[in-house]
């Protein structure tokens, strides 16, 4: 057929050209300098792509995913509808009894990590150990953690999701666990979810298409300002990309063009056992999609997370543990540990993250753009207990961030991707800080090649390079830190 | 394996897959939208081939596991049409089918695709059968305005239901248990069940009274459901629609409300209903 042949020929040329370009750029970056780098956290991405759904409905991955695990508008609608297509195949009673709604995902890989200006032990000077900065590089074959997704419907309009996930040592935790009432009172505007879940982020970090240590997360989703040079970030932990614990109301129009959600969340950043405080946070998101002729579906939205975090613990607990006997005088040796009593965090202070998002489709090209705004209370920004006086000159830090992520789907089997993020401090915690302290730039690009598209399993050859630079983050000199990752791996799910 | 070699193999595979699919470019016209088969092909490759197959013959990798079997676009026989039985459907018919999906099959509603994308898909679906090159779609059925439902029209519809022997397949109470129900097969020789009115739910080709009217006036090609356009007058067809609505005892329709307001209707409906069934159908087995 003429159409197909033309498509094939064009696709081949585009693929070759794109591969050459990608390979060249990758090589260029690998051979490029090795300027300084920050010991940014190595995050294991917990991503979602469920061949179990494909098996259930007999549809290829590409129906719900632009390129798995990223959702297409159809996949987003399927998710918003409680993992239901809206026909009578949704309820498990219509499924073969042998159907098992489970998906495994893992990524054996080769990766290379380079971070300059890492604080390491230096020579002992005058009997005093010192710290010096060195560039640290490592590479080799490795594997990711294991994601063990099980999700679907318990009955028509009762959906669930359970994700025990491990790091690459096999240590498991529950990344997600929730149940949802869908379409209450027959309305798509009334869906209630309770448990631990991903926030209603249109740009989902759980479905991120990049996997490397630096590129496998959205920097804007986890950024916290530095207190002052050499001190590091504020101590409270929060990430808008982290799964949170709480209850969510979500509503959407039948065709999913309009989406809105609000969540009430425990202020524990998704940690189990209520470890920090008794506070509650709120997350709201809303978006509207519209058709733009032959270009495709465009979507714009807003989001905001309004949280609080404790600044000190009301109670502490001291435990003494005999650990042996003094060899000289025979006295018992006691280890004394003082730790906060979980859940008694007080002196809550607030913070927010908010922004706008636009998801733009130009046929095979899609671009996601986000503007972020962040603010931390001055007590959080300076790590000061609320019952203590603030350091002189302390201010509430604010910052702005931006993200542009581009995907080019040559066809459902080949995806080129690129992302640039920047974060710029608007107001430093201390006026004496350099104005750009903590500013961050991140560039990630690569491609994913899916040699087959089926409804049984998914496989992608993943190739990615990512570089992150943060201003003034070096632990000793306060210079910039640059960190680079390269990852090539076989990403598969079944 | 070197890249050039890999590329040649990939190209060969894709071309081999594509070769049997030989058809001319097609367009579709739905309202102000004009669909084109070329972008439709990309969408088909992304969304549809898993069931309908690369050749459009319904033999995708999931074809053997899907009941009812996916539509065979090569034969160009479509159930949901506004056109007379045996004729090709209009572009709008295909567009509506993609948009609506089919409740009792694996075919979802593709309402999240843009209108342009659905129009492109319609254009591409039309490349699979040579019929689209040699035949024009049938003339769309003209549906007169619906008269108000009355007890009289419901009773007249009940008589038509008997006269046309709808009960032979659908059963006297519309429970899909007529004497012929168990013997029915479709054009692929696959067993097929008549619609069960008592369970309710969306009809295969829509959920409005107009859709119901159209279904029995045009028939569902490829199934035992015939067209009654030649034997039923329009006013009779509306009577039948009103009566059929009363068989859907779990659906809150004006016709059912009217029917329940009569002594006879209330007794019949009450007899059919049973509360708290485990599967939620609300119907006596």
Q: How confident is the model at residue B5 (pLDDT cuts 50, 70, 90)?
A: low
CB burial class (10 A; 0-12, 13-18, 19+) of residue B3?
A: exposed
Indicate whether B210 and B267 sit together in one domain.
Answer: yes
Q: What is the pLDDT of residue A236?
A: 86
Q: How confident is the model at residue A294 (pLDDT cuts 50, 70, 90)?
A: confident
Asked if residues A61 and A170 have their Cβ atoms less than 8 Å apart, the reply is no
Which residues in chain B have Cβ-Cβ distances shorter than 8 Å to A1?
A: 18, 21-23, 127
Q: What is the pLDDT of residue B269?
A: 79
Answer whether residue A46 shows pLDDT above 90: no
Q: Which of A48-52, A224-228, A300-304, B68-72 has the lowest mean pLDDT?
A: A48-52
Distance in angstroms (rounded) separating the CA atoms of residues A106 and B47: 25
Answer whether residue A482 shows pLDDT above 50: yes
* Dihedral pair phi/psi, residue B181, rounded to 5°: -55, -40
Q: What is the pLDDT of residue B199?
A: 81
Chain B residue nearest residue A86, CA to CA: B108
Neighbours of A343 (CB within 10 A): 16
Domain membership flag for residue A436: yes
Answer whether residue B14 shows pLDDT above 60: no
Domain membership flag for residue A20: no
Answer whether residue A418 shows pLDDT above 50: yes
Q: Which of A14-28, A94-108, A256-270, B29-43 has the lowest mean pLDDT?
A: A14-28
B1-30 mean pLDDT: 60
Range of the domain at B249: 151-272
Q: How many CA atoms lie within 13 A of A468 on its CB side?
A: 28
Range of the domain at A69: 33-311+347-493
Chain B residue nearest residue A87, CA to CA: B103
Domain membership flag for residue A15: no
Distance in angstroms (rounded) separating the CA atoms of residues B53 and B39: 17
Pick A454's closest partner by Cβ from B23, B61, B108: B61
Q: How confident is the model at residue A47 (pLDDT cuts 50, 70, 90)?
A: very low
Which residues in chain A have Cβ-Cβ distances shorter than 8 Å to B45?
A: 62, 411-412
Answer whether residue A143 shows pLDDT above 50: yes
Tell me the nearest-neighbour CA distance from A254 into chain B, angstroms: 8
Indicate whether B130 and B155 sit together in one domain.
Answer: no
Answer whether residue A483 shows pLDDT above 70: yes
Indicate whether B41 and B80 sit together in one domain.
Answer: yes
Domain membership flag for residue A14: no
Pick A63's closest partner by Cβ from B46, B105, B115: B46
Distance in angstroms (rounded) separating the CA atoms of residues B211 and B217: 10
* Among candidate residues B104, B134, B164, the one where a domain is terminated: B134
Neighbours of A397 (CB within 10 A): 28
B176–chain A Cβ distance below 8 A for any pair: no
Task: Please give the interface size between A and B, counted as residue pairs whose CB atoms are below 8 Å apart.
Answer: 117
Answer whether residue A110 shows pLDDT above 90: yes
Domain membership flag for residue A122: yes
Domain membership flag for residue A165: yes
Domain membership flag for residue B214: yes
Q: What is the pLDDT of residue B179?
A: 94
Q: What interface predicted TM-score (ipTM) does this complex get?
A: 0.81
Q: What is the pLDDT of residue B7?
A: 59
Q: What is the pLDDT of residue A5?
A: 37
Distance in angstroms (rounded) separating the CA atoms of residues A429 and A227: 6
Task: Report how many domains make up chain B.
Answer: 2
Q: What is the CATH number of the domain that holds A128?
A: 2.40.160.10
Alpha helices in A174-245, H assignment, sequence order: 219-222
**Average model confidence (pLDDT) across chain A:** 88
Q: What is the pLDDT of residue B66?
A: 83
Interface test with A, best of B112, B125, B176, B252 (most A CBs within 10 A): B112
pLDDT in tens, B139-166: 999 999 999 999 999 999 999 999 999 9
**Residue closest to A359 by CA, chosen among A48, A7, A70, A2:** A70
Asked if A76 lies within 8 A of B116 by C-beta distance, the reply is: no
Distance in angstroms (rounded) separating the CA atoms of residues A4 and A10: 10
Q: What is the CATH number of the domain that holds B245?
A: 1.10.760.10
- Strand, helix or coil at A146? coil
Answer whether residue A96 shows pLDDT above 80: no
Asked if residues A217 and A405 have their Cβ atoms less than 8 Å apart, the reply is no
Indicate whether B130 and B217 sit together in one domain.
Answer: no
Neighbours of A266 (CB within 10 A): 20
Q: What is the pLDDT of residue B8?
A: 55
Q: What is the pLDDT of residue B273?
A: 67
A350-360 mean pLDDT: 97
Q: What is the pLDDT of residue B250?
A: 83
Domain membership flag for residue B100: yes
pLDDT in tens, B262-283: 888 888 877 776 544 444 444 4
* Among candidate residues B73, B103, B134, the one where a domain is terminated: B134
CB crowding A91-112: b at 16 or more within 10 Å, else e: bbeebeeeeebbbebbbebebb
Task: Report how many domains make up chain A.
Answer: 1
**Which residue, chain included where needed, has tokens 């869906």?**
A191
Domain membership flag for residue B162: yes
Q: Which of A197-201, A215-219, A291-295, A348-352 has the lowest mean pLDDT?
A: A291-295
Q: What is the CATH number of the domain that holds B125?
A: 1.10.760
Q: Which residue has the higher pLDDT, A342 or A426?
A: A426
pLDDT in tens, B168-197: 999 988 989 999 999 999 888 888 989 999
Domain membership flag for residue B13: no
pLDDT in tens, A199-212: 999 999 999 999 99
Indicate whether B118 and B201 sit together in one domain.
Answer: no
Provide the angle, in degrees to the nearest 10, between the axes of the packed helices B209-218 and B234-247: 120
Q: What is the pLDDT of residue B13?
A: 54
Q: What is the pLDDT of residue A408?
A: 96
A53-70 mean pLDDT: 87
Pick A86's closest partner by Cβ from B42, B108, B280: B108
Domain membership flag for residue A460: yes
Q: How confident is the model at residue A331 (pLDDT cuts 50, 70, 90)?
A: confident
Asked if B7 lies within 8 A of A16 by C-beta distance, the reply is: yes
Q: What is the pLDDT of residue B65?
A: 82
pTM: 0.84
Answer whether residue A470 shows pLDDT above 90: yes
Give percent above pLDDT 90 in chain A.
69
Q: What is the pLDDT of residue A11?
A: 40
Domain membership flag for residue A327: no
Asked if B108 lies within 8 A of A73 by C-beta distance, the reply is: no
Indicate whether B195 and B247 sit together in one domain.
Answer: yes
Indicate whether B231 and B182 sit together in one domain.
Answer: yes
Q: What is the pLDDT of residue A320?
A: 87
pLDDT in tens, B43-92: 999 999 889 999 999 999 888 888 888 999 999 999 999 999 999 999 99
Answer whether residue A42 shows pLDDT above 60: no
* Among candidate residues B134, B165, B182, the one where a domain is terminated: B134
Q: How confident is the model at residue B9 (pLDDT cuts 50, 70, 90)?
A: low
Indicate whether B233 and B187 sit together in one domain.
Answer: yes
Domain membership flag for residue B172: yes
Indicate whether B125 and B40 sit together in one domain.
Answer: yes
């Amino acid at each position: 057929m003429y159409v197909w042949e033309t498509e094939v020929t064009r696709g081949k040329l585009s693929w070759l050209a794109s591969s050459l370009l990608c390979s060249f750029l990758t090589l260029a970056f690998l051979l490029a300098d090795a300027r300084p780098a920050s010991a940014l956290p190595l995050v294991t991405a917990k991503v979602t792509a469920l061949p179990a759904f494909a098996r259930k409905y007999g549809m290829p991955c590409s129906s719900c995913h632009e390129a798995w695990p990223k959702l297409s508008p159809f996949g987003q609608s399927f998710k918003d509808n409680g993992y239901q297509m809206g026909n009578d195949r949704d309820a498990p009673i219509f499924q073969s009894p042998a159907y098992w709604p489970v998906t495994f995902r893992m990524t054996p890989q080769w990766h290379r990590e380079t971070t300059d200006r890492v604080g390491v032990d230096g020579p002992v000077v005058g009997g005093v150990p010192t710290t010096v900065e060195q560039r640290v590089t490592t590479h080799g074959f490795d594997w990711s953690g294991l994601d063990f997704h099980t999700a679907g419907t318990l009955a028509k309009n009762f959906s669930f999701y359970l994700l025990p996930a491990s790091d690459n040592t096999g240590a498991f935790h529950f990344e997600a666990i929730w149940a949802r009432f869908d379409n209450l009172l027959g309305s798509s505007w009334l869906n209630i979810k309770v448990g631990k879940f991903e926030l209603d982020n249109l740009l989902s970090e759980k479905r991120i298409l990049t996997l490397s240590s630096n590129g496998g997360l959205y920097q804007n989703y986890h950024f916290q300002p530095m207190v002052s040079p050499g001190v590091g970030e504020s101590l409270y932990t929060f990430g808008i990309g982290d799964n949170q614990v709480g209850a969510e109301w979500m509503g959407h129009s039948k065709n999913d063009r309009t989406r809105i959600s609000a969540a009430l969340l425990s202020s524990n950043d998704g940690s189990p056992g209520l470890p920090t405080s008794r506070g509650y946070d709120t997350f709201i998101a809303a978006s509207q999609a519209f058709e733009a002729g032959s270009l495709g579906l465009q979507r714009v939205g807003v989001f905001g997370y309004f949280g609080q975090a404790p600044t000190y613990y009301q109670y502490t607990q001291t435990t003494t543990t005999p650990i042996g006997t003094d060899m000289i005088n025979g006295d018992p040796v006691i280890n004394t540990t003082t730790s906060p009593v979980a859940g008694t965090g007080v002196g809550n202070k607030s913070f927010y993250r908010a922004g706008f998002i636009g998801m733009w489709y130009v046929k095979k090209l899609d671009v996601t753009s986000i503007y972020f705004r962040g603010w931390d209370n001055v007590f959080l920004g300076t790590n000061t207990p609320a019952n203590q006086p603030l350091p002189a000159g302390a201010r509430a830090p604010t910052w702005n961030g931006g993200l542009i992520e581009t995907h080019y789907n040559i066809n459902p089997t080949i995806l080129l991707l690129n992302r640039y993020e920047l974060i710029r401090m608007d107001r430093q915690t201390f006026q004496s800080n350099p104005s750009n302290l903590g500013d961050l730039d991140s560039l990630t690009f690569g491609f994913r090649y899916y040699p087959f598209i089926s409804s049984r399993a998914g496989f992608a050859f993943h190739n990615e390079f990512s570089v992150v630079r943060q201003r003034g983050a070096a632990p000793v000199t306060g210079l910039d830190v640059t960190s680079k990752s390269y990852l090539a791996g076989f990403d598969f799910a079944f | 394996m070197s890249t050039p070699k890999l590329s040649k193999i990939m190209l060969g595979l894709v071309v081999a897959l594509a070769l049997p699919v030989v058809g001319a470019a097609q367009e579709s016209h739905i309202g102000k939208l004009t669909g084109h088969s070329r972008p439709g092909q990309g969408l088909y490759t992304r969304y549809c081939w898993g069931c309908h197959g690369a050749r459009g013959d319904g033999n995708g990798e999931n074809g053997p596991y899907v009941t009812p079997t996916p539509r065979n676009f090569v034969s160009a026989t479509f159930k949901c049409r506004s056109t007379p039985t045996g004729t090709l459907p209009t572009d709008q018919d295909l567009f509506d089918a993609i948009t609506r999906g089919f409740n009792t099959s694996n075919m979802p509603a593709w309402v999240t695709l843009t209108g342009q994308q659905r129009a492109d898909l319609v254009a591409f679906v039309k490349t699979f059968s040579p019929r689209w090159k040699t035949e024009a779609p049938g003339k769309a059925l003209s549906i007169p305005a619906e008269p108000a439902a009355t007890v009289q029209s419901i009773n007249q519809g009940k008589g038509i239901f008997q006269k046309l022997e709808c009960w032979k397949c659908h059963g006297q109470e519309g429970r899909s248990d007529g004497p012929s129900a168990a013997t029915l097969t479709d054009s692929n020789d696959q067993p097929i069940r008549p619609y069960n009115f008592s369970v309710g739910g969306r009809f295969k080709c829509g959920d409005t009274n107009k859709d119901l009217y159209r279904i029995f006036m045009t028939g569902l090609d490829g199934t035992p459901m015939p067209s009654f356009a030649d034997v039923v007058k329009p006013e009779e067809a509306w009577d039948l629609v009103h009566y059929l609505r009363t068989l859907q005892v779990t659906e809150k329709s004006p016709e059912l409300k009217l029917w329940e307001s009569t002594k006879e209707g209330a007794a019949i409906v009450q007899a059919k209903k049973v509360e708290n069934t485990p599967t939620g159908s609300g119907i006596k087995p």
